[in-house]
Structure 1
Amino acid sequence: MRWTLAGCFGFVLISISVALQITQKPRFYGLRTRATAPIYCLVSDKNLKGTVEWHKADKYGADKNKIVPNERIRFESRLMIQNALLYFMDLKVEDSGVYYCSVNGTFGPGTEVQVVRPLDPIKAQYRSQMKDGLIVLQGLLLGVCIGAYLLRRQNLVKDSDSLYEEPETDHIYEGLAIEACGGGLYEDLTAYARVEGAEAPWE
């Protein structure tokens, strides 16, 4: 029984030691557009003959898509491993991503490539000034809107106050005062009536 356990343990150690290990160099690239860069796929077994397949993912853990060589991306062989080198020419922003090599179904750890456009100081200064100008313009527009709102509110308050303002004096009957002539207003009107038959002065 002991010899059986020892044999199994030894077999596990041997299988681990001969397991295929793949490394990639470098593990990260930060490059500008139109640059060139190689990625190496290194295999632990120097005597292994095989073909490397290259895959690309948008980020670590995302789905991998097989890479097909073109006029900007080509494969080169190293030692006995075919396509062990992935070579970029004239990099573009869309080339950013994580690149994996695989041999016999075993994937490497991946190499992240980030491609950025070169910085133009004149354009950067212009964009900065444009941004500052837009911020000042937004501040002015905000101040105008707040001032218009406050002015409108003040006018509405004045209008509402004038609707409920009572007049100081009542001028409806002004100028219609009737002389009392020493008596009542209506009771003694007959006293001033003309006698029937009296002639008018102009007759």
Structure 2
Amino acid sequence: MQQNPRYMAAKKNTRVHFVCYTSQPHAMQWYKALTDEEKFHPLDLSSDRFSINITHDRINFTIFKISYEDNGVYVCDSKNLTEERRQPYLCGTELRVMSNRTIEQTQSRNTLKDAIIIIQSILLVIFISVPMLLFLEKGDGKESPEEDHTYEGLEVEQMATYEDITPFRDVKAKWTVGEHPGEE
């Protein structure tokens, strides 16, 4: 036994065709299961929505105008599949009925997709670029020599004198005679 195709997606109101190749076509039957259940049901042969043609080595199954209730898995197996309460030998053919969209619906959907992409791009710039810029601006806390204003306004000879000045002390200095600024 061999069945094809394995998967089919078609627009509503179109025709679909499945083929099952077998050496015993008169002992076979087509079954359907919904995609969310595992139990297969035999197809109603009295329906005018589809046809089943049997030849010497195959069973052809055609649905003339598919609708949403035709979604499911179709499998070709022996006529006693439901009596034996077993799973089919083949995995079957999954049919998905697709909707017809108008140009306006497609354009609206594309506009929505574009808006989502733009919003994602803006958020990406905000949440990646801004923290990086803040991190680079902060630096490692050390000032570069260009930003050091210690010797600003001093001549070269005065710089050495400036470095010899001791830092300001909070305690009162003890002055020796002649050194007090108020004494001359």
- TM-score, normalised to structure 1, is 0.45
More RCO (CA 8 Å, sep 6+): 2
Task: Please give the TM-score of this superposition, normalised by the length of structure 2.
Answer: 0.49
